[in-house]
Structure 1
Amino acid sequence: MSLQTARRRLNARALLQMVVDPGSYRSWDAPVSYTEHSAAYAADLAAAREKTGEDESVLTGEGLVQGRRVALVVCEFGFLGGSIGVAAADRLTDAVERATREGLPLLAGPASGGTRMQEGTLAFLSMVKITAAVRRHKEAGLPYLVYLRHPTTGGVMASWGSLGHITVAEPGALLGFLGPRVYQALYGEPFPEGVQTAENLQARGLVDAVLPPEELAGTVHRALSMLLPGDPAPVPAPESLGRDPVAVPAWESITRSRNRHRPGVRQLLHFGADDVLPLNGTGQGEKAPGLLLALARFGEMTCVVLGHDRQRGAEQPAMGPASLREARRGMRLAEELDLPLLTVIDTAGAALSKEAEEGGLAGEIARSLNDLVGLECPTVSVLLGQGAGGGALALLPADRTVAAQHAWLSSLPPEGASAIVYRDTLHGAEMAQAQGVTVSALAAHGIVDHTVAELPDAAEESPAFCRRMARAVEYELASLRPVPLAERLARRTERFRTLGSVL
């Protein structure tokens, strides 16, 4: 047996032993009871108990994961294929509800063929009560982490297996709604290879990472350190706060912002953040190259980060509808866990294509704006470089906006504005200056609150610039924490409500 196969076949006890600190696991399992069932099913249950040494297909309890108390629910696949009947569903639901009452983060490790056929429709319907318990756990602002193990299919994958704030999967695991044996029996041919694998699901934006079991404890600890950060210490104001931005010609800023060596969101996180945990995709079968989604910690301030991804190649991915659906996943994550949200704007414009139109780009921009203006968590936006069109607007609304000195914001790239007004692209510099796209103009209208200098150009001093920007971000995130929700929402609305008003 290969090492990879052995990893995939870890039973529930072995996984628990690998994840929790030695000697810290405490079972929550009460004895199971069943309604009347057939003699054949009773024999199946007895054989499963003898084979596995467990009394049901689910183990629940709590333990320390690198010193942090965590609730755990783990399937034992050797017990009737990890199938979930009414008794197993009750055990799962009880554990989720206890974790919620005790304020514990929850780690789920499903490995199951789905609901138990011997118990029919009642087992099938039991997925509803598990899902309801998970929903209440998340509504309490508590993290729900999922580790999808080999195999996870059917009703388990279609309920509590697919609801994680963060979802990672075992290498090579078979994961999907449809069991391959069922497909072959129904259609007389095998299901296409390579579709229901952990790696393909990651490529499609359905899971955040593929992770061997021995790395799970460390990843859970890092994730919970960011999802449950505690009360940060006060952050002193950086030197950049309070300075009026230096007015520079609009075309100079636009030219500098287009430099392919200018730092983007990846460089900001690399040089400026103290820890970063990348997330992946929409969770709905889409993974867009134009957006980065991650958890990040700046000093003691943890936040959800979503930003336009300036890549170093000649081809820059434009923001399409899938990018915005991924962004909205980040917004939901921040709100559910009461973490601040950081958006990073750096785009030459949204995608202009048949696919973007048919994918509902305009509607996704609208929904992104709708979400941002009403999010209950603190929000900070960063104008890092280019800020063209609806792709920039979709990430802009925030409680506070920080801008790099040579960032800019406009409804169109200046050449596009020139084409509308002059019927050519030759008046871009003139249009940019007239339209007030610069940081100094935005600050005068109360849209930019905090400017970070470039000395003289971020492309020439990437590490130092990113560290200055990170200090500004940390300060703004920290300054929003004590502001009451109603006051934050009122201020957020007012900053745009009064824009351009004549008093």
Structure 2
Amino acid sequence: MNRPHLDDLLGGLLDVGSWSSWDRVPAQPPASAAYRRDLARAAERSGADESVRTGEGLLGGHGVAVVASEYAFLGGSVGLAAARRATSAIERATAEGRVLLALPASGGTRIQEGTPAFLQMLTISGAIAEHRAAGLPYLVYLRHPTTGGVLASWASLGHVTFAEPGALVGFLGPRVVEALTGTAPGRDAQSPEALHRAGAVDAVVTPGDLREAVRRVLNVLTAAATATGPAEAAVHPAVPAGAGPVAGPVEAPDPWASVLATRAPDRLGLRDFLAASASDVTLLGASDLREGTDAQGTPIVTALALLRGTPCVVVGQDRLAQRHRPIGVRDLRAARHAIQRATELRLPVLTVIDTPGAELSDEAERAGLAAAIAHCLAVLLATPVPTVSVLLGQGAGGAALALLPADAVVAAEDAWLAPLPPEGASMIMHHSVDHAADMARGQRITAGDLCRLGAVDLVVPGVRDRMAGLGEAVAACLRTVSGHDSVTRLAARRDRHRRLSL
């Protein structure tokens, strides 16, 4: 494919006339005559003075700092001068509170400078770590090629990582791999597409589409930075009044009828909820949210989004995808990673529960499914950012429990939560699934029961037929819990689970 020069990439990415360079003449380390000639030829051929260029600009009106590789300068390799320039720009972005966008395209560290250049990857990565610790976003676009020490350090530390289609993205270049191992890597082993399937790249995006992809992310992050204000009046410490839903215990339909309703093929789910309520959605990791009832997708979808204008990280269970693949360890790991991203970005977390249960297989057991569930709910319990959970439909077992801890919990009126599907409970008690309906009626699984227990704060009617009211209610909850400081939130979260009772 036609890969744009860095000047053209920046020209299509940033608002017209907004680019301003931060670069000064680099001070090169002591070098041999041969290396000095290499540097002179690289400058002449590339028109650049080093392999890294830095500066600032606007993208859709949002200010960003940029650290970009100039691949035409010695293959984008990073030596001491380039590392100092990159580090200085990162530190300036942190001091000025800017979003940082990296555009790497590099063969790695500069061989002519040896180990001292290699160690600069620690310096750059340390500056990135400080930027992230300050709660500032770091976005990455992996260009062709990105390999070696650059990929194994600062190019792989983005909160959100995009990649160029068909780019060579790998730990070591193919020639080096073959020379060291005697075997060339597979054709797609070092591709962004493979990394996306593994969850290491969030999306594969063409250079022409990059501006829109980054703009969506910036819209969410900018909304998060400006979302301030006191908490709204509430009927519950963390739940807004007058938002439309019914507050307090609600008499649900027959529990077994609720179970059957949430299993209906035409039941609305996560896809419908996001379509009705979310904008500027950016899927994270390996998440796949495809259109159509037969589209497979991923059992847990993670995404950045604006929910009725309120920024959040969504961690939702897609009931349609679970027809093809139940929730397993890798899905729970992706959920935990998304919650950790939200914590760093200081974004609220919205979980959506709708699952018939986790994967039941020897492979899942060997992979540590129970531990994955435990670690997922633990990170939700401990995160200092606001959390809201939506019990949308089925809530069977540990897969549901993993996403339940929250500052506020909203439930559809016919949603339910149980330690096992009713058939499983029937098998334990009666050695047969024939008593599933009676088990459902006897285990206090309905939204009304959960309200009386104190596990659910709001019950929203009519979700089976429409999602708009649910989106408004959930967004109101997100705004309210975001109005409390983290110390108050964590204390209330701890106390709400201690108050759960019969």
**Superposition TM-score tier, normalisation by shorter sequence:** over 0.9
**Alpha carbons of 1:94 and 1:288: their partners in 2 closer, same or farther (altered >3 Å)?**
farther
Shift of 1:312: 6.9
1:76 alignment counterpart: 70
Q: Secondary structure at the match of 1:71?
A: strand
Q: Does structure 2 retain, via aligned residues, the 8 Å contact 1:349–1:387? A: yes
Q: State how 1:278-297 maps to structure 2 within 5 Å.
A: 278-281=283-286, 289-297=298-306
Unaligned runs of 5+ residues in structure 1 are: none
> Which 4+ runs in 1 deviate beyond 6 A?
232-236
Aligned CA-pair RMSD: 1.7
1:90 alignment counterpart: 84
| Aligned residue identity for 1:157 | L
Q: Does structure 1 retain, via aligned residues, the 8 Å contact 2:174–2:185? A: yes
Q: State how 1:9-408 maps to structure 2 within 5 Å.
A: 10-229=4-223, 230-231=226-227, 237-242=242-247, 244-281=249-286, 289-311=298-320, 315-408=323-416
Q: Secondary structure at the match of 2:9?
A: helix
**Alpha carbons of 1:481 and 1:187: their partners in 2 closer, same or farther (altered >3 Å)?**
closer
CA distance in 2, matches of 1:179, 1:192: 12
Q: Does structure 1 retain, via aligned residues, the 8 Å contact 2:144–2:169? A: yes
1:135-172 CA-to-partner distances (Å, cap 9, x unmatched) read 11111111100000000000000001111111011111
Shift of 1:423: 1.0
Deviates most, 218-227 or 242-251: 242-251
Equivalenced residue count is 483
Unaligned runs of 5+ residues in structure 2 are: 233-239, 288-295
Shift of 1:243: 5.3
| Aligned residue identity for 2:397 | G
Q: Secondary structure at the match of 1:36?
A: coil
Shift of 1:203: 2.5
CA distance in 2, matches of 1:49, 1:366: 54
Shift of 1:200: 2.2
CA distance in 1, matches of 2:254, 2:344: 42
Q: Determine if the alignment matches structure 1 residue 419 to structure 2 residue 391.
A: no
| Aligned residue identity for 1:466 | M
2:235 alignment counterpart: none
Shift of 1:236: 7.5
CA distance in 2, matches of 1:427, 1:96: 63
Shift of 1:316: 4.1
**Alpha carbons of 1:479 and 1:241: their partners in 2 closer, same or farther (altered >3 Å)?**
farther
2:291 alignment counterpart: none
Q: Identity rate of aligned residues, in percent?
A: 48
CA distance in 2, matches of 1:366, 1:247: 30
| Aligned residue identity for 1:308 | Q
**Alpha carbons of 1:232 and 1:317: their partners in 2 closer, same or farther (altered >3 Å)?**
farther
Q: State how 1:420-499 maps to structure 2 within 5 Å.
A: 420-454=428-462, 458=464, 461=465, 465-499=466-500
CA distance in 2, matches of 1:231, 1:442: 31
Deviates most, 430-439 or 267-276: 267-276
Q: Secondary structure at the match of 1:269?
A: helix
| Aligned residue identity for 2:334 | E
CA distance in 2, matches of 1:358, 1:289: 21
Q: Does structure 2 retain, via aligned residues, the 8 Å contact 1:414–1:431? A: yes
Q: Does structure 2 retain, via aligned residues, the 8 Å contact 1:281–1:288? A: no
| Aligned residue identity for 2:492 | R
Q: Secondary structure at the match of 1:228?
A: helix
| Aligned residue identity for 1:227 | L
TM-score normalized by structure 1?
0.93
Q: Does structure 2 retain, via aligned residues, the 8 Å contact 1:232–1:300? A: no
CA distance in 2, matches of 1:327, 1:490: 23
CA distance in 2, matches of 1:122, 1:253: 65
CA distance in 1, matches of 2:134, 2:479: 23
Shift of 1:469: 0.9
